């Protein structure tokens, strides 16, 4: 067997998105040879940039004869393929839904060459030397409940140029009976789970992502995130992303004994469960945070790395949830303020008061920006389908900061009513006569948007969004 010694570790892109061919350093002398077949630190570094795919199993297929031919199989997990001894001709066909469906790539592999095969790409090979040991790492265990996709080795559309004609080699009956490309059911994307699907943000996420077989919109009735059986509630390895839009948001009731327990259960206990599941299964966890994690004492806008200092129970639970999610290897924390979407909210209340002839008092000493759920949903979509680094991103609408008082007056004006009907009042005076517990609010809820802009998150102008929202309401 001839081996190409002395290569530098490097990666080459192929014609199939995500299918990466690697050159491996092999060191040899008269005694034999040695190589690092999989070295996580080196192979996930920027020079090679393989996904940190988390293998859980190592398999070896030993082949006695030249011409042994296997495949084409696409599984719902990633695979890292190499050769320990011998040499193969490998053929890979993209069997995933999308524009690259049916794309073919072929290459010879010896011990100095490996290939990373992403989920849904069909994998096959033909041995070119006797006593060939074909090895592969996978990041999931075989399951009879998983989705598999197959293609016939002799498919005319793929037209793979096998070195040894297929009619001269032994092929299993199962491989011979696999469908042609025209009859292949493509491998669907990994599933996306959206929790809190009936809330303001959940409805916006449904509008943004649409209805597809691989997207699941769950309410508490569908999936109890605090259940001790949550780990077994789904085959979590089939999920690529969880968008946690579920939260307890009753900031004042959270100050009561009953509300405190509910807030901690929804915003911390449930989040910890999702974090554990996401970490164990390589899932991207998107978590929605709040300006209430800050005390509002800063003079300028809050950045993503500013220390948290929540004033009340709701803010404390959100800060705790953020800390938990930050430990998940693949996570995005989307921090928002003053959320406006479909359902009960401040803007709808002001519009209703304007139409009913009520002249409200509105607090004028809290500053921030509105966050329209359409913007938040679009930002989340960009994050999970893009290349933004994991971490925290502030997401609100853009524009000049405003007080609730100024926003209320603008709502009155846009609805054709006299904005002077709205009068300003301090937060302390507004709640002075409250008979129930009241949460302390941050006086400054302004969030810095530079990080969001740097990764191309699409954020609309708050004034334009408010106008369009009222026109459609």
Structure tokens given for 452: 């969001």
Residue with tokens 């999936």, as numbered in its chain: 223
| Measured distance CA(34)–CA(288) in Å, rounded | 48
Pick the catalytic residue: 125, 136, 239, 332?
136
CB under 8 Å to 58, separation ≥6 — which residues? 135, 136, 137
Q: Is 73 one of the annotated active-site residues of the chain? A: yes
**CB proximity list for 362: less than 8 A, separation 6 or greater:** 350, 404, 405, 408, 422, 423, 424, 425
Name the 3-class secondary structure at 270: helix
Cα 302–453–375 angle (5° rounding)?
A: 85
- Strand 239-244 with 191-195, pairing: parallel
- For 140-271, where are the E strands, in sequence order? 149-150, 191-195, 215-218, 239-244
- The answer to whether residue 332 is catalytic is no
Residue written as token pair 């920027």? 46
Indicate the SS3 state at residue 344.
coil
The encoded tokens of residue 193 equal 């789970």
- Return the active site residues: 73, 136
């Amino acid at each position: 067997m001839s081996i190409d010694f002395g290569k530098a570790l490097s990666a080459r892109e192929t014609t199939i998105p995500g299918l990466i061919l690697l050159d491996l350093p092999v060191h040899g002398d008269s005694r034999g040879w040695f190589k690092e077949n999989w070295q996580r630190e080196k192979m996930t570094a920027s020079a090679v940039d393989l996904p940190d795919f988390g293998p859980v199993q190592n398999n070896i297929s030993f082949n006695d004869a030249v011409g042994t031919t296997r495949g084409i199989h696409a599984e719902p997990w990633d695979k890292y393929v190499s050769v320990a001894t011998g040499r193969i001709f490998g053929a890979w066909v993209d069997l995933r839904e999308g524009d690259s469906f049916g794309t073919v790539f072929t290459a010879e592999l010896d011990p100095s060459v490996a290939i990373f095969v992403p989920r849904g790409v069909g994998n096959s090979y033909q041995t070119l030397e006797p006593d060939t040991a074909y090895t592969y790492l996978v990041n999931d265990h075989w399951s009879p409940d998983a989705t598999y996709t197959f293609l016939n080795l002799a498919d005319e559309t793929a037209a793979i140029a096998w070195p040894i004609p297929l009619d001269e080699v032994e092929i299993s009956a199962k491989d011979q009976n696999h469908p042609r490309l025209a009859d292949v059911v493509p491998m669907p994307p990994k599933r996306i789970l959206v929790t809190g699907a009936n809330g303001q943000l959940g409805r916006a996420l449904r509008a943004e992502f649409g209805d597809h077989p691989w997207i699941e919109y769950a309410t508490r009735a569908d999936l109890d995130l605090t259940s001790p059986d949550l780990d077994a509630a789904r085959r979590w390895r089939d999920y690529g992303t969880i968008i946690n839009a579920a939260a307890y948001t009753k900031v004042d009731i959270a100050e009561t004994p009953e509300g405190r327990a509910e807030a901690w259960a929804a915003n911390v206990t449930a989040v910890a469960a999702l974090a554990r599941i996401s970490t164990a299964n390589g899932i991207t966890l998107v978590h929605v945070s709040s300006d209430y994690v800050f005390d509002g004492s800063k003079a300028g806008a809050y950045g993503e790395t500013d220390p948290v200092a929540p004033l009340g129970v709701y803010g404390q639970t959100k800060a705790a949830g953020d800390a938990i999610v930050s430990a998940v290897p693949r996570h995005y924390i989307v921090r928002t303020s003053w959320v406006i979407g479909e359902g009960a909210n401040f803007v709808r209340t002001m519009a209703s008061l304007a139409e009913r002839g009520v002249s409200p008092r509105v607090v004028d000493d809290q500053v921030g920006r509105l966050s329209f759920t359409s913007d938040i949903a679009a930002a989340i979509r960009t994050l999970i389908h893009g290349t933004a680094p994991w971490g925290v991103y502030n997401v609100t609408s853009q524009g000049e900061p405003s007080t609730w008082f100024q926003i209320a007056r603008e709502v009155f004006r846009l609805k054709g009513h006299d904005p002077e009907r709205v009068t300003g009042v301090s937060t302390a005076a507004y709640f002075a006569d409250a008979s129930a517990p009241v949460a302390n609010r941050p006086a400054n809820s302004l969030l810095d948007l530079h990080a969001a802009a740097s990764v191309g998150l699409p954020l609309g102008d708050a004034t334009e969004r408010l106008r369009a929202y009222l026109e459609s309401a």
